[in-house]
Amino acid sequence: MFIVNADGTITRDYSNYPSTAATPDPNDHTIAVSKDVPVNQSNKTWVRIFLPRQALDSSTKTKLPLIVYVHGGALILLSAATKIYHDLCSDIAARVPAVIVSVDYRLAPEHRLPAAYYDALE
């Protein structure tokens, strides 16, 4: 998963955890559409927003709940673009249904705590 370098940084191996792109095209055959939105360009933080497909197909103006999802990885690994988290958020958006905002935050140790918490709050 990762190697701790002498300077305190980490070399991460994501070969077992592929990333996936957002799925913004409503014509794709996905259960939810998603889009990446920058939050803080200087910190390079962003969110991936998921909207259930049925919200696009519906003619009603039903309000959907909002769920903020902060991915796992012990604050040192992975991102909101990691396929397992992308698929999970898509599934939650479709099944609940709800709007899901998956937060990508700066990782430790390069960005010491509480940077990740501040990123998630922002």
List, as one string, the DSSP characters of 69-107: EE--STTTS--TTBHHHHHHHHHHHHHTT-EEEEEE-PP
Give mean pLDDT, residues 99-111. 93
**Do 103 and 69 meet the contact criterion of CB atoms below 8 Å apart?**
yes
Please check whether residue 44 is in contact with residue 106, taking contact to mean a CB–CB distance below 8 angstroms: yes
- The contacts found for 51-56 with CB under 8 angstroms, 24 or more apart, are 51/93, 51/99, 52/93, 52/94, 52/96, 52/97, 52/98, 52/99, 53/26, 53/94, 54/94, 54/97, 55/97, 55/99, 56/26
Q: Is the predicted pLDDT of residue 68 greater than 70, yes or no?
A: yes
Q: How confident is the model at residue 58 (pLDDT cuts 50, 70, 90)?
A: low
**Fold classified for 18-120:** Rossmann fold (3.40.50)
Residue 45: predicted pLDDT: 97
- The residue type at 75: L
pLDDT confidence tier of residue 15, bands split at 50, 70 and 90: confident
pLDDT at 105 over 80: yes
Which of 10-14, 24-28, 97-101, 111-115 ranks highest by mean pLDDT?
97-101
